[in-house]
Amino acid sequence: MKRIRSIFVATAAPPADSPYYELARTWKVEIVFANLIEIQGYSLPEFREQGLSPLDFQGFIFSSKQAVDHFFRLMAEMRLELPPESRFLCTGEIVGQQVYQYVQGGMRRRIYSQANSLLGLIPYMRKYPDLKYLYVGGGAAPLQFFEEAQRYKLNLSTVKVYHVHYITLPPALKRRRFSVLCFPTPTSVMGWFHNHPKFQQKDTLVLVYGEDTQRIAESYGLKIHDYAPRPEAPSLLALLRNLLRTQG
């Protein structure tokens, strides 16, 4: 493996006290941050055009913090409150913690966040097959997830709460080659290929967070070097730390 000199992380630059910067100083590598997508929340009329009422569902599925924020924003604008028996299915603890901020009391005990992918939620959904589930998102619908739900005859619908716009990188950044690419979300992978439609991986190492991100990356032909979360690598930062240690 070639010595790692530059790392691209497909997210907005973190605060100045982020451990990413300490990692860069310790290992004398360059870490470049750039957001590849822009999220724009649906307006209330846009949401209502979809013809779905959240009150018709008992299970709510989230795979991103943005989906959580915009869903509950729209709920507040509509002055709707979910019934206390509602269940919340989340892909990972980070998304689950976001839901936790918006619900109270016993509803918090009904947040399920042990799965690392949408497909990983299917076993939980099968425990409650009579519920009507609503996947809350934006951008492209997760077709494989819906196919699996249909396979088990689960009642699953989808509603969008935000638009996804891809950001075009500045030409100088767009031309650069990096030793490592880090993708935290499926849409960050799509944003990379929006900027690099003919990208050839060659000896570039690819790190991803989440099974859904890994699945999308592989669908674009990328070979995944490592992934999170797992016990020894709960985050992208941990993946990078482990990777840099291997080169000494």
pLDDT at 229 over 90: no
Q: Phi and psi for 103 in degrees, rounded to 5?
A: -115, 160
CA distance 192 to 185: 11
Query: Which domains are present in the chain?
Result: 6-36+169-246 (3.40.50.10090), 40-164 (3.40.50.10090)
At residue 1, the pLDDT reads 67
Confidence check: pLDDT of 140 > 80: no
Rounded Cα gap, residues 96 and 174, in angstroms? 34
92-116 tens-digit pLDDT:
899 999 999 999 999 999 999 999 8
Average pLDDT of the chain? 95
pLDDT higher than 90, residue 231: no
Supply the pLDDT for residue 141.
79
Contact, 228 vs 209, CB < 8 A? Answer: yes
- Whole-number percent of the chain with pLDDT over 70: 99
Cis peptide before 229 (omega within 30 of 0): yes
- Residues 160-186: what's their mean pLDDT? 95
Residue 162 near residue 42 (C-beta atoms within 8 A): yes
CB atoms within 10 A of CB 153: 9
* Contact (Cβ atoms closer than 8 angstroms) between residue 54 and residue 81: no
Assign 3-state DSSP to the chain and report helix, strand, coil percentages, each to 5.
Answer: 40, 25, 35
Give the pLDDT confidence of 26-46 residue by residue, as tens digits. 999 999 999 999 999 999 999
pLDDT attached to residue 54 = 97
